[in-house]
Amino acid sequence: MIELLIVAVLVVWSAIVVFNKVFSKTAYAVYLKLSQVFEKQGWTTLAKWIKPKMVAGCGGSCGCGSSESSAPKKNEIQAVKWK
C-alpha cells in the first residue's frame, strides 16, 4: 500500500514538472486562475504560494532567461604555452 502511494506521488509530481516545462504559457495561466480562485475562497496563503512569478524577458521558454545578462561573455579558453 505504501509503495503504491509513493509511486502515485512520484507520477503526479513528474506530470506537473513536465506540464510546467512543455506548456509553460498554459501552466502560467492555470496557476494564475487557481490563485484567483483560492483568493476568492479566502485561502490567501495558498493563493500566494501557487501564484506564478512575473516573467521578465521573452517569457516564451526559448532559453533566454531573465537572469542572463545581455553582455557577451569572454571566451575563457586560453592558449597553451609550451616551454
* H-type alpha helices, 1-83: 2-22, 24-41, 44-50
Q: pLDDT tens track of the chain, all 83 residues?
A: 899 999 999 999 999 999 989 998 899 999 999 999 999 999 888 888 888 877 665 655 555 555 555 666 677 777 788 87
CA distance 62 to 64: 6
pTM: 0.55
Please report whether residue 45 resides in a domain.
Answer: yes
37 three-state secondary structure: helix
Q: How many domains does the chain have?
A: 1
Domain that holds residue 45: 23-56
Please report whether residue 50 resides in a domain.
Answer: yes
Please report whether residue 47 resides in a domain.
Answer: yes
